[in-house]
Amino acid sequence: MTDTEHSAGDLVNDPVVEETLPATGAVEVETESGAAGLVDELARETAATDVRVERMLIVLDIDGTVVLEDESLSPGVVDAVAHAQSAGHEVMIATGRAWESTRGIMRVLGIAPEYAVCSNGAVVLKRIDADDLAYERWHVETFDPREVLTLLREHLPDARYLVELPGGERLYTEYLEDWNLVHARRVPFDELSEQRVCRIVVVAPEQGEGEFLELVERIGLHQVSYAVGWTAWLDIAPQGVDKSTGLERVRTELGIRPEQVLVIGDGRNDVGMFAWALQHGGRAVAMAQGPQEVRDAAGETTTSVEAGGVAEVLRSL
């Protein structure tokens, strides 16, 4: 493409910017004769939808971002989300939680976005009915859990295990109070490995966070992605899958430019989506109470979940 062609539209003149634009986006390079038509079209669109700011894709983690450890809401988050939505932005969730325990949070937040990313990116749900908050499993990533389960069991014989099946059913070995066990069935350990799964969750109360990280390193979980959660919680996803892989599918479907992405999170399982947002010109915000390495991975830090960090970011948009 020549400079002459560029100057006609005058919208794209930086090759770096151009490279990050979507194939079919709001910005197209027009020829001289097409430029006037484009201006007319933009004017019509603007008048019709009364859009003053370009639509953003705002992605919120749940635990430690929207809710505190006791499940109470971060101050001001409901109003701030409503404010962002009324400005025309798409506010959605990307969480390590399964759908069953994500839906209730979406209800409390008052959102029914077109998509939700659950199970650390292994499951993307698509809205069927906003009023009922009914969603279908739109994209599901799976892996064979046998090898990983065998390895983990060798090193953590007393741990408790849960797997999520592609259809949403969950199998677990032992009851745990803080697991929402809707659509869950207790099975012997060996039965966990009988089919492909979307995720494995391992809880070993006697393991500290550091010990867990060290163990994962030592036994070499190379065929999977993993994240260590709040306390003695190891979450294993298919290789190469994290929140960002689910989100990129969603962003493409929604046709929102990468520069219009804003993600907020607090944990190691958010680092992938931070990198994804930043890499393509978007914003990544970490909660103040998150680990140092997580805050380092974000472009910005807001206040803590207790202090209303999400509300602070959304109010400033």
Nearer to Mg ion, 145 or 272 (CB): 272
Q: How far is the CB of 178 from Mg ion (least distance, A)?
A: 14
Alpha carbon distance 237, 242 (integer Å): 7
Nearer to Mg ion, 64 or 145 (CB): 64
Report the alpha-carbon distance of residue 184 to residue 270 in Å, rounded.
26
Q: Minimal distance in Å, beta carbon 228 to Mg ion?
A: 12
CB of 230 vs Mg ion, minimal distance in Å: 8
H/E element, 308: none
Identify which of residues 235 and 266 has a Cβ nearer to Mg ion in the complex: 266
Strand segments, DSSP code E, in the chain are 57-60, 90-93, 115-118, 123-129, 134-140, 160-164, 170-172, 184-186, 199-203, 224-228, 233-238, 261-265, 283-286, 300-301
List the interface residues with Mg ion, window 252-281 (CB under 5 A): 266-267
Least Å distance, CB 61 to Mg ion, is: 4
> Quick one: DSSP state of residue 53?
S
Nearer to Mg ion, 141 or 266 (CB): 266
Residue located via tokens 């002459």: 4
What proportions of the chain, in percent to the nearest 5, are helix, strand and coil? Answer: 40, 20, 40
Nearer to Mg ion, 192 or 203 (CB): 203
C-alpha dist (Å) from residue 82 to 66, 108, 118, 130, 218: 14, 11, 22, 15, 45
**Shortest Cβ 96–Mg ion spacing (Å):** 7
Write b or e for each residue in 80-107: b if 16 or more Cβ atoms lie within 10 A of its Cβ, otherwise e: bbebbbebebbbbbbbbbbbbbbbebbe
Residue 260 CA to residue 21 CA, distance in Å, equals: 11
Pick 245 or 269: Cβ nearer Mg ion: 269
Task: Compute CA distances 167 → 3, 143, 194, 198, 262, whole Å.
Answer: 52, 14, 14, 9, 30
Task: Annotate each residue in 34-73 with x if it binds Mg ion (CB under 5 A) or - if it does not, as one string.
Answer: ---------------------------x-xx---------
Interacting positions 79-118 with Mg ion (CB under 5 A)? none
Q: How far is the CB of 243 from Mg ion (least distance, A)?
A: 10
Measured distance between the N- and C-terminal CA atoms of the chain, rounded to whole angstroms = 35
Question: Between residues 145 and 267, which has the closer beta carbon with respect to Mg ion?
Answer: 267
Residue with smaller CB distance to Mg ion, 242 or 266: 266
Cβ-Cβ contacts under 8 Å for 255 (sequence gap 6 or more): 22, 24, 25
The residue count for binding Mg ion (CB under 5 A) is 5
Shortest reach from residue 195's CB to Mg ion, in Å: 28
CB of 235 to Mg ion, least distance (A): 11
- Where on the chain is the footprint of Mg ion (CB under 5 A)? 61, 63-64, 266-267
